Structure 1
């Protein structure tokens, strides 16, 4: 594997972006479950007022309750995704802090570097 400081820095930044995108996708999933729960609850209540049979209205309310439970479970994933995103941002910052100086030094040095053939593991 031929890793350069620039590649390490780029991958750290990309990881942060992917973590943020994952968090946004999970938040959208939570919102969808909440919307489904609201819709099923509305239908159950409306059918109850229209005197629709109890098994049907109960089934819709059960769907609403299950959708709320799913939204809650996804909420826990959102919290974990938030932690992941924060950790990824820290990883990016730490990588830049630790290795950015080396990348800068490599770009601005005036010492001839060793031939890559010489540095290759044998």
Structure 2
């Protein structure tokens, strides 16, 4: 049995709609997780910068204060990189919402017609490709 036949035999309209909606929810959750990661990098950068500046005031050796400032700089750069992922996640969430809307728009009227028609539907076995 081909993959298309196997999938067609087990997927219903309701399942497709549920998966489309779930994809949108997962995309939004992914975006939130990435946003939290960006915030953590920014917090760590600020903390390392503070430590470097405080150690400089306390006359701690230069290699140590420089290392902390380098950690701050790298963490800031990482937060910037993650910010671009957040932007891409926004685009993904928007596309996923569009997917759900498009699926509903294209196939919802067929589901409505199937629910409200007065003609008896054929058995699913009759509609399968042989």
Query: What TM-score do you get using the length of structure 1 for normalisation?
Result: 0.96
| Alignment size in residue pairs | 122
**Aligned-partner Cα distance in 1 for 2:41–2:114:** 51
Q: Is 1:91 matched with 2:99?
A: yes
Q: Is 1:35 matched with 2:43?
A: yes
Q: 1:117 aligns with which of 97, 100, 125?
A: 125
Can you list the C-alpha shifts for 1:37-89, whole angstroms capped at 9, x where unaligned? 00000000000000000000000000000000000000000000000001111
**Aligned-partner Cα distance in 2 for 1:77–1:48:** 34
Q: Point out where structure 2 has 5 or more consecutive residues left out of the alignment.
A: 1-6
Aligned to 1:103: 111
Can you list the C-alpha shifts for 1:86-115, whole angstroms capped at 9, x where unaligned? 111111111111111111111122211111
TM-align CA RMSD: 0.9
Q: Is 1:9 matched with 2:17?
A: yes
**Aligned-partner Cα distance in 1 for 2:127–2:101:** 29
**Aligned-partner Cα distance in 2 for 1:6–1:78:** 31
